[in-house]
């Protein structure tokens, strides 16, 4: 879906590059059919791989029993083993109608993939990466899109440079941003949904809350966080510890509080990324079945890409985190902002921003943050360097590749 949105962006630039594209139309239906077929193809591949490995697949809902040994029951049949792994993932958080009247009239990111047509009018609620990605995709493909956030910026857990710039890029791209706002109610009308929103600037304490509505909404999408898929597992029977949100508590080796039961992935509530779950599962398998007793995943320096417009790449400590952990006097920041060469002749402009977070006299690079064209593909290589302990001097010794955006990281002064 993001790739389709990128095509839509490039269409705006074709005339600047000398192409007359004429009347171009977009078909959500065609894209959805091809996407769904591809996902079905992937599902078959994964199922075939399980079959080839002679892994028994049991379809159903598992829950732990009260048996002395760790045991799960599926469809009335009990299963036990020396090792039981919980990898049930997470799901989008939802609001109840008694919390926000009419909340159930909206959808989540799961429902986004079921949309049969492109909504003419969309409202996204949330400030995290899913909200940012959904808003970017819908807006770029032609849906008039509003994004409702509780504070003044999106991606507040990211480096402040990224948070501020992404908020600006959303607004520049045409997303209608409702800051310091919350949805108060949702009502269905014969022309679509009516979304009532309350806005209150915390800086203006004497100012009354503003109540406004967005009319004729085709798609209200809640992107307000995720919760673990642990509620139906009956893990209390196994005395497996969880936190207050239901995430399964594990140690550095993915062990739960009950011997023989392990957990990896989003259900643990840490670094909610598919590659993290895969890597943790592999490390656990090496420890349990290959005798590598020290095998565990290093959860530091995990790279993350947000498929915004333009994309974001980030790894390591933010500037704020580095100052808190190392002290301001031990932190050196290098940053730059420029217009990528692609946009040199386009009327549509988008900046590229970059930041290096360095610590100590040796200026070890502990954080790298960027937003701009190609930043999604740049990040992996820089992550290897940072994981190996690269310093600013190592970056400076590296010959630049010109003309690229990535060369800015090795020419910062």
Residue 298 vs residue 206, higher pLDDT: 298
Residue 50 clears pLDDT 90, i.e. is over it: yes
Using one digit for the tens of pLDDT, what is the confidence trace for 153-193? 999 999 999 999 999 999 999 999 999 999 999 999 999 99
Mean of pLDDT values over 215-244: 95
Of the candidates 350, 308, 316, which has an alpha carbon nearest to the alpha carbon of residue 333? 316
- pLDDT of amino acid 24: 92
What are the C-alpha distances in Å from 126 to residues 76, 133, 180, 226? 40, 11, 11, 11
pLDDT of residue 294: 97
Q: Report pLDDT for 316.
A: 98
For residue 146, name the pLDDT band (cuts at 50, 70, 90).
Answer: very high
- Compute the CA torsion angle 154, 157, 158, 161 (nearest 10 deg): 60
Confidence of residue 275 (pLDDT cuts 50, 70, 90): very high
pLDDT of residue 129: 97
Lowest-confidence pick of 207-211, 218-222, 334-338 = 207-211
pLDDT: which is higher, 389 or 237: 389
What per-residue confidence (pLDDT) applies to 375?
98
Nearest to 221 by CA among 135, 311, 282: 135
Helix (H) or strand (E) holding 193: strand 192-199
Region 358-369: what's the mean pLDDT?
98
Helix (H) or strand (E) holding 48: helix 28-52
Percentage of residues in the chain having pLDDT higher than 70:
100
Q: Assign 22 a pLDDT band (cuts: 50, 70, 90).
A: confident
pLDDT score recorded for residue 390: 98
Query: What is the rounded distance in angstroms from the CA atom of residue 31 to the CA atom of residue 261?
Result: 42
How much is the average pLDDT of 135-154? 98
pLDDT, one tens digit per residue, over 281-324 is 999 999 999 999 999 999 999 999 999 999 999 999 999 999 99
pLDDT of residue 158: 98
Question: Per this entry, what is the length of the chain?
Answer: 413
Task: Name the catalytic one among 41, 247, 369, 402.
Answer: 402
Q: Residue 54 has what pLDDT?
A: 97
Q: Would residue 61 show up in a list of annotated catalytic residues for this protein? A: no
Burial readout 92-126 (b: 16 or more C-beta within 10 A, e: otherwise): bebbeeeebbbbebbbbbeebeebeebbebbbbbb
Q: Span 211-232, mean pLDDT?
A: 97
Residue 379, pLDDT > 90, answer yes
**Mean pLDDT value across residues 97-101:** 98
Indicate whether 203 pLDDT > 90.
no
Range in 22-26, 37-41, 154-158 the model is least confident about: 22-26
- Please give the pLDDT value at position 206: 83
- The average confidence (pLDDT) of the chain is 97
Report the pLDDT value the prediction gives residue 31, as an integer from 0 to 100. Answer: 98
CA distances from 289 to 69, 121, 251, 297, 299 (A): 20, 53, 19, 16, 22
Flag whether pLDDT at 207 surpasses 90: no
Residue 267 in this model has a pLDDT that exceeds 90 = yes
**pLDDT at residue number 398:** 98
Q: What is the pLDDT of residue 336?
A: 98
């Amino acid at each position: 879906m993001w790739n389709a949105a990128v095509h839509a962006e490039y269409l705006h630039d074709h005339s600047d590059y000398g192409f007359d594209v004429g009347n171009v139309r977009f078909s959500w239906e065609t894209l959805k059919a091809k996407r769904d077929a591809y996902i079905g193809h992937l599902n078959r591949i994964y199922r075939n791989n399980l079959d080839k490995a002679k892994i028994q697949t049991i379809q159903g809902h598992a829950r732990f029993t009260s048996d002395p040994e760790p045991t799960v029951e599926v469809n009335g049949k009990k299963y036990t083993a020396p090792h039981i792994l919980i990898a049930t993932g997470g799901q989008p958080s939802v609001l109840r109608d008694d919390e926000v009247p009419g909340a159930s009239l909206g959808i989540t990111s799961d429902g986004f993939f079921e949309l049969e047509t492109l909504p003419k009018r969309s409202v996204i609620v949330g400030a995290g990466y899913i909200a940012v990605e959904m808003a970017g995709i819908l807006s770029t493909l032609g849906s008039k899109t509003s994004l409702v956030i509780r504070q003044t910026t999106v991606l507040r857990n990211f480096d402040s440079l990224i948070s501020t710039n992404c908020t600006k890029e959303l607004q520049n791209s045409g997303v209608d941003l409702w800051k310091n706002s919350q949805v108060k109610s949702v009502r269905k009308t014969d022309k679509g949904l009516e979304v009532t929103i309350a806005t209150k600037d915390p800086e203006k304490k004497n100012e009354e809350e503003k109540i406004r509505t967005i009319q004729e909404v085709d798609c209200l999408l809640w992107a307000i966080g995720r919760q673990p898929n642990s509620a139906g597992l009956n893990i209390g029977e196994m005395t497996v510890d969880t936190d207050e949100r239901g995430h399964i508590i594990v140690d550095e080796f993915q062990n739960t509080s009950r011997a023989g039961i392990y957990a990896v992935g989003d259900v643990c509530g840490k670094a909610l990324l598919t590659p993290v779950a895969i890597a943790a599962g592999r490390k656990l398998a090496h420890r349990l079945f290959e005798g590598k007793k020290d095998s565990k995943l290093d959860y530091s320096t995990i790279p993350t890409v947000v498929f915004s417009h333009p994309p974001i790449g980030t790894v390591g400590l933010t500037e704020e985190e580095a100052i808190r952990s190392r002290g301001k006097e031990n932190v050196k920041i290098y940053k730059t902002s420029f217009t990528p060469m692609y946009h040199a002749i386009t009327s549509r402009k988008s900046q590229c921003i970059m930041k290096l977070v360095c610590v100590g006299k040796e200026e070890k690079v502990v954080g790298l943050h960027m937003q701009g064209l190609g930043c999604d593909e740049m990040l992996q290589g820089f992550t290897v360097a940072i994981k190996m302990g690269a310093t600013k001097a190592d970056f400076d010794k590296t010959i630049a590749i010109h003309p690229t955006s990535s060369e800015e990281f090795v020419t910062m002064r």
